Amino acid sequence: MALYQKYVKRSNKPEHKINEDITNLTIRLVGEEDDSLNGITDTKVAFERAKERGLDLVELSGTADPPVCRIIEYSKYRFELKKKEKDKKEKQHISVLKEIRFGPNTDDHDFAFKSNHAQKFLENGDKIKAMVIFHGRSIIHSKRGFDLLEQFAKALSKWSKIETPPKLEGKRLFMILIPKK
């Protein structure tokens, strides 16, 4: 573990410049109740104002000219940023590609069983890659595979739409379905 930590670059430097770390002579101050300070002001004046209130002068955008700063409590500001980031992650759904395989001679019961599973995957918001695999000489019956995938798409038309139409690559015929919103 000590070797791993040796190569990990760690920084105790905060994400934003705060208070004395701001080196520019002038800044653009935003979000103040006192409109006389909003706009372009001297860094020292803004820092003194923050000190009087017991708050921090935080540089929000260092790439702007002049840099955009705000007088706020830095720890509270970082907490709010982390909270927003966490909310974004919770709301984000990662789409997973589920694969369902058929043979060219798939029976009706197997087809119904697999289409029920596919329906559940679509309801969860996952994509489906339906694939017909041809073994040996069964490739001469590729029409059966196209018919099977067409039937599969019709069975799931209530929950899905076709992203990629049936395509034959080698001895595999596949189609991709995505959930309807």
Q: Over the stretch 133-173, which tens digit does the pLDDT of each residue have?
A: 988 888 887 888 899 999 999 999 898 888 889 988 888 99
pLDDT value, residue 113: 92
Question: Residue 153: which of 145, 143, 161 has the closest Cα?
Answer: 161
Q: If you average pLDDT over every residue of the chain, what do you get?
A: 81
pLDDT value, residue 94: 73
pLDDT value, residue 67: 83
Mean pLDDT of 32-41: 67
**pLDDT band at 37; cut points 50, 70, 90:** low
Cα distance between residue 112 and residue 102, in whole Å = 12
Is pLDDT of 64 > 80? no
Mean pLDDT of 93-119: 88
Is pLDDT of 5 > 60? no
Could you give the domains of the chain?
9-90 (3.10.20.80), 97-179 (3.30.110.10)
Predicted TM-score of the model (pTM): 0.50
